[in-house]
Structure formats: C-alpha cells, structure tokens
Amino acid sequence: MKPRKLRFGVLGVGRIGKIHIENLVNRIPGAEVAALSDVAAAELEAVATRFGIERTFGDYRGLLDLPEVDAVAICSPTNLHYQMIVDAAARGKQIFCEKPIDLSIEKVQAAIEEVGRRGVQMMVGFNRRFDPNFLKVRETIAGGLVGQPHVLRITSRDPAPPPEPYIRASGGLFLDMTIHDFDMARYLMGSEVTEVYARAAVLVDPVFATAGDWDTAVITLTFENGAYAVIDNSRKAVYGYDQRVEMFGSEGMVTVTNNTPDTHILCDGVGIHTALPLNFFLERYAESYLREMRAFVDAVENRTPVPVGGGDGLKAALMALAARKSALENRPVKLAEIYQGVTPACPVS
Amino acid sequence: MKPRKLRFGVLGVGRIGKIHIENLVNRIPGAEVAALSDVAAAELEAVATRFGIERTFGDYRGLLDLPEVDAVAICSPTNLHYQMIVDAAARGKQIFCEKPIDLSIEKVQAAIEEVGRRGVQMMVGFNRRFDPNFLKVRETIAGGLVGQPHVLRITSRDPAPPPEPYIRASGGLFLDMTIHDFDMARYLMGSEVTEVYARAAVLVDPVFATAGDWDTAVITLTFENGAYAVIDNSRKAVYGYDQRVEMFGSEGMVTVTNNTPDTHILCDGVGIHTALPLNFFLERYAESYLREMRAFVDAVENRTPVPVGGGDGLKAALMALAARKSALENRPVKLAEIYQGVTPACPVS
Amino acid sequence: MKPRKLRFGVLGVGRIGKIHIENLVNRIPGAEVAALSDVAAAELEAVATRFGIERTFGDYRGLLDLPEVDAVAICSPTNLHYQMIVDAAARGKQIFCEKPIDLSIEKVQAAIEEVGRRGVQMMVGFNRRFDPNFLKVRETIAGGLVGQPHVLRITSRDPAPPPEPYIRASGGLFLDMTIHDFDMARYLMGSEVTEVYARAAVLVDPVFATAGDWDTAVITLTFENGAYAVIDNSRKAVYGYDQRVEMFGSEGMVTVTNNTPDTHILCDGVGIHTALPLNFFLERYAESYLREMRAFVDAVENRTPVPVGGGDGLKAALMALAARKSALENRPVKLAEIYQGVTPACPVS
Amino acid sequence: MKPRKLRFGVLGVGRIGKIHIENLVNRIPGAEVAALSDVAAAELEAVATRFGIERTFGDYRGLLDLPEVDAVAICSPTNLHYQMIVDAAARGKQIFCEKPIDLSIEKVQAAIEEVGRRGVQMMVGFNRRFDPNFLKVRETIAGGLVGQPHVLRITSRDPAPPPEPYIRASGGLFLDMTIHDFDMARYLMGSEVTEVYARAAVLVDPVFATAGDWDTAVITLTFENGAYAVIDNSRKAVYGYDQRVEMFGSEGMVTVTNNTPDTHILCDGVGIHTALPLNFFLERYAESYLREMRAFVDAVENRTPVPVGGGDGLKAALMALAARKSALENRPVKLAEIYQGVTPACPVS
C-alpha cells in the first residue's frame, strides 16, 4: 500500500510561501499541500489555482481546524508568527516557521514553551544550513579536516536594499539580515557565542538612518570554545548577492565562493571576465529551500528531532539583540546581558 | 479561461524517458503527460504510478491512436526511433526524438522527409545546446565578443564506460558519444563542417576493441568559414564527467569550466582541494533537459520552428560517419564522401 | 659620462639584510653596496665575499664615517634602529630602515624629528605596499573602480610560529606581525584610523602565553571616512603563508588570492588539487623587497619624498599599541588615547 | 679556496642574448661572462658596458680563440648556428645553443655528430622545459599521478605576429613557433612521435600568406605509446600570451593556467574581472631562461649529460618538417618519411 503523504497547510502565500508550496507540490514526493490561507484573497486564489490546491481560507484558523492537515508552514509576516504557532500547536499540528520567530525574546521563548507543552515539533527556517556549499563546509569542519576552529569569517551582502516599508518593519539589520549569519556562525562553529561586538554605519542609503537602522556592519563574535568569528554585512553589493564563509583552524581552512549562473570565462583585449553571482536569495538558495523542507518532512515522518529548532531561533535572536546593543553603545556585549533565562536545550549540531 | 495544456505521450520510460516525464509533469506548466508506452510492463506501471499518469500502453501504437495526445517524446532505443517517427507523423503528432535519429543516414533522411510531408515538427534531443554554460558561450560568440572564430576546442569525457551490451548497440563512439560534440561544434561555430580527420584508439578497456569500437579519440574538423575545431573524447575520466568547450577568435576567447556540486575550497598541509565535477549527464545536464523540453513545448504552442531540427540530426550523423571512416583509414574524409544528397535546409543558428 | 651610482652601507647582514644586499648588488643598476657592518664577524665576511663587497665593519659607526657612503639600509634588530638612525642622520646619510622603527612611540617620534632636523630622508620598510597584488588593489581603489570604500578585510597568517626568543623580543603580535596589516589598511583605505578593537587569544601554541603574547587575533578598525576594516591574524596556517586583502565599496569589490609556485591543477579520483601558497615572506615578497628598494633609490636620486616615511611607521605603531590595549581591556580604544602629540604630516597616499 | 667560475663567451647580444648574459652575470654564482661577440658594434659595446664585460669581438672566432672561455652561449640568428657550433666544438668549448639548431635536418645531424666527435656537450635552448608550471606537469606525470597518458593538449598562442622580415626568415610557423610545442609534447609524453597531421591556415594576417607561411594551426600527434596529442597555435591572441598544456591519463588529468602579473579580482556591476596573462615570452619565461642556464652550468661543472641535447633539437625539427609536409598535402605524415637516418640516442626523459 502506498504510504499516506504528509498534508500541509501553508499560512501565507507571498514570496517565500510560494517557494515552499512549489517545493511541497512538485519536488517532495512524501508531502502534499491540502490548504492555503492568506488575507489577500486574489493572490490566494491565484496561487491555489496555479498549484491545484482546493481549500483556501482568509482566516488561518479555518485552515487549522481541518483535521486532515498534519503540518503547517508559517510564511506570514513576522508579527503574526507567534499567534499562529500557538494556535497551530494547540491543534497538534507540526510546525515549520520562517525566521525570525518573533522580534521579542519573550515571545520567542513563549512560543518554544508552548510548542513543547503541546508535544509538537517546530522547525525554524534557517534555510542556509541546507545550502550545498555551507553544508559541505559544515561537513568538512565536522570531519576534522580543518582541525580545531580558530577564526570564522562570514561575508553576507545583499544586492540592493529592500524598500523603505520593509526596512521599517524588519526589526533592523541584525534581526532581519545578520540573523542568518548568526545562525550560520553557530552552525559552523559547533559552539555557542558568549559575546558580540558590532560596529554599524549608514554608508549605502540615508533611508536607513531615517528608519533608525544601519546598512553596513562588521561584527566580532566570541565563542565558548575560544574561537572568534567576524561577520561583515552590507545592504548593497553592486556585483550581486555575496554569500561566503571561511573557517580557519589548526589543521587547515575551508571556504566557498559564490554561485554563478554559468562558468564561462571571457578573455579579450581588456581582461578576463566571468559571470556575476546569482542575484538574490530566490535563485541562490533555491536548493536550500527544497532541502530544508525535505528535512522537515523527513523529521515529522520519522518522528526524529527537526534539524533546526526553536532554540536555534532563540539563540540567533539573542545574538541580534546583543549586536544592536553593542553597535548603539560601542562596546562588547555578553549574551548574558540580553537574556538571563534558561535557554532551551538546542545543542549545536 | 485557462489555456489547454499540450498533452504528451512518452514512448519509452527508461533513464532518459523518466527525465522528460518528470520535467513535463512538474516543471513545465504548459504541458502534461497523458500517456506512456513501454514494452517493460512492470517499469511502465511503476513510472505511471509515481507520476500519476493514467494511460499506459505496451505497444506504442495504442498511445499514438489517442486523439488527445498532441505530441510525443520518443525515448526508446535508437533502433525503434525511425518507425515511431513515421507512425507518429502519420497520426499528426508533434515529435520530440532523442538523438541519434537513426544509425543509418538513409533512414534519418527518410524520417526527415516523412515528417515534412506530414506537416509536423520534429525536434532532436541535442540537449547540450540548452545548457547554461554552452548557451552563454554561443551568445558570447554570436554577440561578436570573440570576433571571427579561428579555433574551437571541445573536451568531452565520460566518467566511466557503459556496459558492454550498450557499447555493442551504440553505433560506436562517434555516433553515440561524439555526436553531441559534433552538434555542439556546428552550433558554436555557426558554420558547416566540410572535412573530418579522426584518430581513435582503445586505451581504456579492451572490451571496446572486441566490440569493434574505440574508447579514445581526437578529431579535427574543418569548417566552411576556414576555422578548425579539435575534439577529444574518452570513455573514462576518473575525476568525473568532463564537459568543456573553448572558442578562440580574432578578438578573444571564451571557455567554460565544469560544474561542481559545491564551490568549497579546502586548504590543508598538502594542497588546495576542490570538488570534482558533477558526475554524469543526469546531474550535469538536468537544467538543459528541462530547457530543451520547454523550447519544444513553446515551439509547438507558438507554431514556430523547433530550435533543433531533423537536419541538425542528419548533419551530426554525417560527421560521425565521416569520423569513423577517417579513423579506419587514417586520412581526412570530406562530408561529401559520405553523402551526396541534398541535405535539408537547417541553417546553423 | 656614466652617472655615479648611489652608494649604500648596509647595517646588519641577517636574513633581511641579505635580501637588500642582493637586490642592491644585482638588480638595481643605479645602486651599489660600498660597505657592510655587523657584530657577527664570520657571517659578515661570508656575505662580503659572496657579494664582492670590500669594506666591512664590526661597529656600524665606522661604516657611517665613510664619506663615500650616501645611504644606509638599517637591517639590524629593532632595539638598535633608533641609535643607528640618529647617528646616520647626524652624518647626513639617507636612511632606509626596516620596520618597526622602534617599540617605543617616543623613540619613533624622536627619530622622525632627528631625521627632519638633519634634512635627510627616512623610508620605512613596509615592503608589502610594493607587492604587485596589493599595488594593483591600491590602484584599483584609487582609480575609483570600487567607489567609496565601505569595508576592508585583511587576512594575514604566517605558516609557522617564530622561535621563542624571537617571540619574546618581538614586541608582541600586534607590533611584530599585525603592524604590516595596519600599514596596509591605511594604505588601501586612504584614510586614517581613529579607533581599534582587538580580540586576541592563544590557540596555536602555549609558548605565546608564557611570553605574554597571543598567536591569534581579530581586529576591527574604524576610519575617519566612516569605513571599517577587519583584520584576522594567526601565527600558524598549515597550508602556508596566507596574505589576502579585500576592499568592498559602493561600486564594487577588489580582492587578491595568494601567490603560488605554479599554476598546476591536478584532477584525480578524489578531487581537484592545486599548489599551496608560496611558503613565507622571502619568496612571497621577493618582488616587493626589490621594488621598495628601487623606490628608495629613485626618491634619493630624484630628491623626491620617499613613498613610505617615518610618519607611516609612527601611525602603524600607534595602531599596534592601541590594539594591544584593546585586547587587554576588551574594549574599543581610540588612537588619541595612545598618543596626544602632533603626529608628523604623512598624508595617506 | 673559492672554486673557479665557469667562463662564458656569448655569441650574439640581441634580445635572447641579453637574457642569458644577465642571468649568467647576476643570478648564477657559478658562472661569469668573459667575452661577447656580435657584428653590431654599437650594441655590442652597450651591452658590454652595461654588464661590465671587458672582452668584445666583432668576429666570434676571436672569442673562440680565448683559452679562458670554457663555454659558449650561441644566441645568433639561426643561419649562423651551425658554423658556430662546429667552430666552438673544434676549440673544445662546451656549447649552449638556442633553438632551432638549424632549419636543415642534415646540418642539425652534422652539428650533433661534430659535437660528439669533439667530446663536448651541446644543450639546446628548449627553455620551456624549465618553466615551473610545465616542470610541475612533467613531475606529476612522471610520478604516475595521471596514470598512463592518453591525450595531451597544448595551446600555444602568441600575443601578436612578428614583423614581416622575421616571418620570412623564421622557417615558418612549425619550425619557429610550434617547435617549442613539439619539444614540450615529447617531454611531457615521455614517448616518441611517429606521425603528424597538421591543418594550417592564414586567419590572422595576409602577410603570412605572402610569405608562404601560416598563422593558425591545429596538429595531431601520434606517439609510440599509443597516445595522442593535439596542439593548437595562433600568431595572435588579443588577450596575450597563451601557454597551456593538459595531460589526460588513465588515473587523472593535470593542467596549468597562464601566469598573470597579479592575482587581483575585481567585481563590479558588470562582471568579475581578472588580469590578462603575462604578455610575452620575456616576462612569461624569465624563470625558465634562468633555470635552463643553471642546468647547463651544473651539467658542465658536474660532467653530467645536459638535460636537453642535440637529439632533442633534431627530433623537434623532424616533427616541424613533417607538420609542414602534412599541412601542404593534407594527410598524416610519418616521421620516417622525413628522415630515415639513425637519430642519435636521446631518450625522452
């Protein structure tokens, strides 16, 4: 007998929602999408039609009431995440939630506790862990090929700033953009961060200053294992999406270059020219979005722990808040200053 | 009203058939697969179930009799291509046929004529033209960035030899493997080949000698535009699938490197190490298979000429036969020696 | 009439002295070496014989008394630099001095003043400015090709730690090793540093801890122009001498890779392998040592300012001292904390 | 007691002569230049003055009469090589001779015999064997890392054509330019060539046609070991001097990229840009000229066989003549067609 597929309800059919829907519908044989919800009715219907999904709901609670829905993918704006998590957990749904869980540490913590109480799993969408490049770096480190980690370097630059309304609602550079790098740093280092020092500036566009935000940052992380990481961010790299990491250790170094649309090399009378990086996250991380959702489906089906849990979301958010405080006060800030509570167990893999 | 999708029947559900089925089902919104045929009943049912296709036929003629089938993808062994083409054309189906059309020039020519007489289109599966790397090379040349072409170099090496039965049925190195490179040479050069000189040897595995075949070759092509190409082939590159081209011209040179599963670079006490190429054509040309089928669907829907026609299949086959004759006689062979007929119009793009 | 060559006396015939002697003797037609001094008599004679230099002195003051000596190259241990500079200036000799000028800011300042009073020039041996890679980066930035500088990244790792006596006399990681990177940062940024934040640790070898030193550091620099730099250092990279810089700006990014002894690429069944970087500074910076000495000779002959002056040496030393203070106190340190005096004019080129 | 240096007389002070003089004077401690000869008096004096060489001769026989001269470097036009070799051998001088020895196989053979009869050594200036890149390729092959050689690819393109008088005196593309690649093919393959097939055309500049020469060629070589090589040449690559080789074998592949003046990478809004190759042979092969002369000096001093002998010069010339014949007649030509004599023993290293 053919095994029953895992049935998803997707909450939010915007840019990131569509990615997950397409992957669930077309690329993950063990899953299917049973229902969608969104407050934007026209877009909701368009997406439902495109992917042949019958059930749609303007109010996500209707979707959650469907008994045939096993799991939800929460792809709504950040400020809705918390309530959706709580409601989904109350109905026993397995939860995949986009990052960040919430801009407030208290709500993140509460969401984690609620999920734990209800006995469901919650995976957080740090998709980059599933990117083939970074995965290979992680495996190389975990395999001992660079020895003891000493210095991690992460460069993460967007091709262009987001629109102003996005900036204002984003929670700021550290919670919106660097949070991926904070998670990556923990993931690659295999150790927890104890202290953050951040320098930030507005060098790209004054709109960031008027929004009380920054567009450029360099951050130093200190880890429990004695190693350091340096992260540098920019909201605008004219040459495209720049996503590199490099781990240096006692026995070697592993790094990755950017991905490109092709491998051509043109030599002319002026120089040697190659392709720019893939422009932005939809192209660059297409594979990682697919792999993370597969990992969630596998974990739910096999009743194994999800590879990226609520505790990971909490840790990254703490680092972001520490970085903001550090940048504002120009001094190193310990994570313990931000949060004294007991963080849930989420051993770095 | 939603436009009607182009309905495909796929003839043959082996390795290459499955690729086309998956692309048609999951990745090409304007197409669907209405029916499958194959003589291997168990595999046929397995594939039909996996992709949710209802109609299956042990005899492809049953499939061809379905009036709702608009187009066929012929993915059967080469020796069946000719009859399937003739039968499909007789029923007015649009035809996508895997390469080579046939091992006999006469049958290739007859198939082309039959298709023309029936007023249907036939596209030949030279998928590499749709690979992002080679497409970029073609665009670079067509855009004049390397000036007048002078010398083209193509390296094409498989990771491992096929099994002996495959070798014996393959038509030999030039018709089975180099045929892709012959088409690529015409495609990139934008000029027709007039003469072929081929040297071939058995250096990889004596099984090729017992099959009357070779595993290693170097080929020189002379073009109408006065330029040359050199192709080198091997049935076994231990480091994986090696697929490179390089065009040198009066104003520059354009080349491509192989594609890899990731971009990692590991530096240790011994050296600097990077990933091997993607291992074989299923991974390496995944994107080109998708793009070629999209191009076929688009051409049929828009009633425009298919981008790779029967004439292209004929030209590549002529080159392969000339190469075989050249290798056997160790002398340059003009294409006119192989075929004096009027080749159908297929201007090199 | 053939122009008279610039006559050098070289003070110190150790590792770095020999480099300068060989370049002056064999590669710089406008210069010659008239005399050598060193306290190690046997080595002094061996070097004099090897290069055919007739005059040698155990006491450098004898050398300075030679009226035919136009210029000196001070290649002695750091603690002797100051007195040699003062004595050479008093005799009107043009001065090339290896870095650092001295471990004490006061003596550096005094040496600069003395040189100025005597009307001679003093060039400091920040040879890396003359390396073809870094020079190209500087030209690219100066030519506006990366726009306004935003973030500079410097990675500087030695292949292996120096012997313990060297460590103890070195002045520590920041004054001995990072000082090159501090100068490079000013040189590439074209702006002065206002603040330094440094994190340092002993991760490579406990001998550094017993010497009151560190072997690993990450440093954040803040510049007057609002940009940042991050430097990371290690005393031991098992894969060899790692010397890279990367400038990111509003219009682009420029970076360099390491130099290798050859460009070979080996593909085998395991991976793709290339050569390790040139192992250490004698090989890596052979060209820059030659070019810096040529630049000194040219400046003296043409009576133009030397390209790297005493003020540059002072600035780099101030950054090193600020970094040490920062690492010890774990807080950002402004350069003004270290030195309130008027630094001599040395506009960043 | 200091060992006596090997005393050279250099015959011909043109472009290549100056390279050898500078290396002998400045970079090879075991050698010195005792005398120069050239028919161009003014240039002769200029070079003698520049390098401090006292003895000069308008007629090289005067130089050869100097008893203190141990060895000669023959750097004159090709048509003078033969007589100079014979005369130098008659006086017992050790001989370094630039390539080609002569354009006539008979004279090459006669020169080799004369040298043998006189008991002196003759090294031929195939300097590329001493290039670090190609040397590494050779070592990789010799070390078995690519297994049994199957296919060798050599690309050799000049940045710009030589002036017309040079072309007319050069002996043609194969004897002037490809001869280096022919020697490289033998050197890397470690096996002798049995047959040559060459295609050649005038695609760069009609001046080559008026001189009875070609500017573009592709050549297939067949080796005794069953392997093949393909060489492609052009007299004009707008992007600079293109010098690459690639050996493919049963266990892997080794290749090299071109050398560049720096390793910078510029990313801007248009693409990623790197430096063009070093422009021409003086820069590109500076190191190989030095190393080959050191090897000659070492061989003479140690009374060991020179690493590149007269037989190597003969073999390369035979290949060039076979290539010319092949290109003219458009058919493969066996080396045995060109020369039936017993070639002197010169086992491929």
ipTM value: 0.93
Contact D24, D31 (CB under 8 A): yes
Q: Which single residue is written with the structure tokens 């760069």? A: D204
* Residue-level pLDDT at A347: 45
Could you say which DSSP state residue B313 is in?
A: H
The residue of A203, A221, A245, A270 whose CB has the most chain C CBs within 10 angstroms, and thus the best one to mutate to test that interface, is A203
C-alpha angle D282-D288-D293 in degrees, rounded to nearest 5? 105
Q: Which residue of C has its CA nearest to D50?
A: C29
Query: 10 Å Cβ neighbour count for B94?
Result: 24
Q: Which residue has the tokens 């030095």?
A: D290
Q: Is D135 on the interface with C (CB under 8 A)?
A: yes
Strands across the sheet containing D94-97? D55-57, D31-37, D6-11, D71-74, D94-97, D122-124
pLDDT for C110 beyond 50 = yes
Q: Which of residues 193-252 of A touch D (CB under 8 A)?
A: 237-239
| Range D234-255 average pLDDT | 98
Q: Is D273 on the interface with C (CB under 8 A)?
A: no
Q: With an 8 Å Cβ cutoff, is B263 touching chain A?
A: yes
Q: Is the per-residue pLDDT at A340 higher than 90?
A: no
Choose among A238, A239, A271: nearest Cβ to D276. A271
Q: Do B267 and C274 touch (CB under 8 A)?
A: no
User: In B, which residues are within 8 Å of D147 by CB distance?
Assistant: 238
Does B26 sit within 8 Å of A268, measured CB to CB?
no
Q: Are D25 and D32 in contact (CB under 8 A)?
A: yes
CB A132 to CB B258 under 8 A? Answer: no
pLDDT score for B340: 72
Residue B222: list chain D partners with CB under 8 A: 199
- Are C239 and B268 a contacting pair at CB < 8 A? yes
Give residue D348's pLDDT. 46
| Residue C301 structure tokens | 């002959």
Burial of residue C160, with CB atoms counted within 10 A of its CB: 0-12 exposed, 13-18 middle, 19 or more buried? middle
Contact B152, D233 (CB under 8 A): no
* 8 A C-beta contact, residue A194 and residue A335: yes
For range C90-117, the mean pLDDT: 96
Q: What are the distances in angstroms from CA B329 to CA B176, B178, C124, D324, D332?
A: 20, 18, 71, 21, 11
Question: Subunits that touch chain C (at least 3 Cβ pairs < 8 angstroms)?
Answer: A, B, D
Cβ contacts of A267 on chain B, cutoff 8 Å: 252-255
Q: What is the mean pLDDT of residues A247-262?
A: 97
Q: Which pLDDT score, from 0 to 100, does residue A346 have?
A: 47
**Residue-level pLDDT at B342:** 54
Listed residue (D241, D233, D133) closest to D187, CA to CA: D133
CB C318 within 8 A of CB C339: yes
Whole-number Cα distances in Å, A155 to A182, B260, C112: 11, 22, 40
Counting as contact any 3 or more CB pairs under 8 A, the partners of B are A, C, D
Per-residue pLDDT at C290 exceeds 50:
yes
Are B267 and A256 within 8 A, CB to CB?
Answer: no
Q: How far is CA C183 from CA C73, C313, C317, in A?
A: 20, 8, 9
How many Cβ pairs closer than 8 A exist between chain B and C? 37
Between CA C121 and CA C131, with CA C125 as vertex, the angle to 5 degrees is: 125
Alpha-carbon distance C330 to nearest alpha carbon in chain D (angstroms) = 35
pLDDT of residue B347: 45
At A14, list the tokens: 């915007």
Q: Contact partners of A by the rule of 3+ C-beta pairs under 8 A?
A: B, C, D
Of D151, D218, D239, the CB nearest to B253: D239
* CA-based nearest distance B182→chain A, Å: 20
| CA B81 – CA B103 distance, rounded (Å) | 10
Q: Identify the helix (H) or strand (E) that includes residue B46.
A: helix B41-51
Which residues fall within 8 angstroms of residue C91, CB to CB, at 6 or more apart? C64, C65
Give the one of B204, B216, B251 whose C-beta lies nearest to D238's C-beta. B251
Q: Indicate yes or no: CB of C133 within 8 angstroms of CB of D275.
A: no
* Measured distance CA(D316)–CA(D327) in Å, rounded: 16
Q: Is the pLDDT of residue C101 over 60?
A: yes
Least confident residue range of B39-53, B335-349, D25-39, D168-182 = B335-349
> Is C239–B267 a contact, with Cβ atoms under 8 angstroms apart?
yes
* pTM across the whole model: 0.94
CA distance C153 to chain D (A): 14
Q: Which two tokens stand for residue C322?
A: 């600020």
Q: Write the CB contacts of B4 (distance below 8 Å, at least 6 apart in sequence).
A: none
What does the pLDDT read at residue C29?
87
Is there a contact between A227 and C199 (Cβ–Cβ < 8 Å)?
A: no
Residue C271 Cα, gap to closest chain B Cα (Å):
5
Per-chain mean pLDDT for chain D = 95
Low-confidence ranges of chain B (pLDDT < 70): 1-3, 341-349
Residue length, chain C? 349
pLDDT score of A345: 47
Return the minimum-mean-pLDDT range out of A321-335, B125-139, B223-237, D327-341: D327-341
CB C31, CB C4: distance < 8 Å: no
| Cβ–Cβ contact A143 with B under 8 A | no
For A228-268, the DSSP string reads EEEEEEES--TT--EEEEEEEETTEEEEEPPP-S--EEEE-
Cα distance between residue C275 and residue A213, in whole Å: 44
Tokens read off for A277: 């990086």
Yes or no, beta carbons of C271 and B269 under 8 Å apart: no
What value does the mean pLDDT take over residues D32-39?
Answer: 97
Contact between residue A252 and residue A146 where contact means Cβ atoms under 8 Å apart: yes
Q: Which residue of B has its CA nearest to D251?
A: B238
Q: In terms of C-beta density within 10 A (0-12 exposed, 13-18 middle, 19 or more buried), how is residue C341 classed?
A: exposed
pLDDT of residue C347: 45
DSSP state of C127: G
Return the ∠ at Cα D161 (arms to D159 and D167), rounded to 5°: 145
Question: What's the average model confidence in pLDDT over D171-188?
Answer: 97
Mean pLDDT of C221-228: 98
Contact C222 A239 (CB under 8 A): no
Query: Is a pLDDT exceeding 90 seen at residue A3?
Result: no
Residue D341 is predicted with a pLDDT of: 64
Hey, of B264, B267, B268, B276, which one would you mutate to test binding to chain C, going by the most C CBs within 10 A of its CB?
B267
Average pLDDT, integer, range C321-344: 88
Mean pLDDT throughout A287-313?
96
B258 vs D: CB within 8 A: no
Say how many CB pairs under 8 Å bridge B and D: 97
> Considering only CB atoms, which chain A residues are within 8 Å of D275?
271-272
Mean pLDDT value across chain C:
95
Predicted confidence at residue B345, as pLDDT, reads: 47
Q: Nearest by CB to D232, which of B147, B151, B226?
A: B151
By the CB < 8 Å criterion, does A151 face chain B? no
**Rounded to a whole number, what is the distance in Å from the CA of C265 to chain B's nearest CA?**
10
- The pLDDT confidence band at residue A348, using thresholds 50, 70 and 90, is very low
Chain D partners within 8 Å of A239 (Cβ): 267-269, 272
pLDDT given at position B265? 97
Residue listed under structure tokens 């290949």 = D319
Q: Which of D232, D330, D332 sits opposite B153 (nearest CB)?
A: D232
Whether residue D289 lies within 8 A of chain B, CB to CB, comes out as: no
Alpha carbon C121 to chain centroid, angstroms: 17
Question: Would you place residue C4 in the very low, low, confident or very high pLDDT band (cuts 50, 70, 90)?
Answer: confident
* In chain D, % of residues over pLDDT 70: 97
Task: For residues A239 and C252, give the distance between their C-alpha atoms in angstroms, rounded to a whole number.
Answer: 6
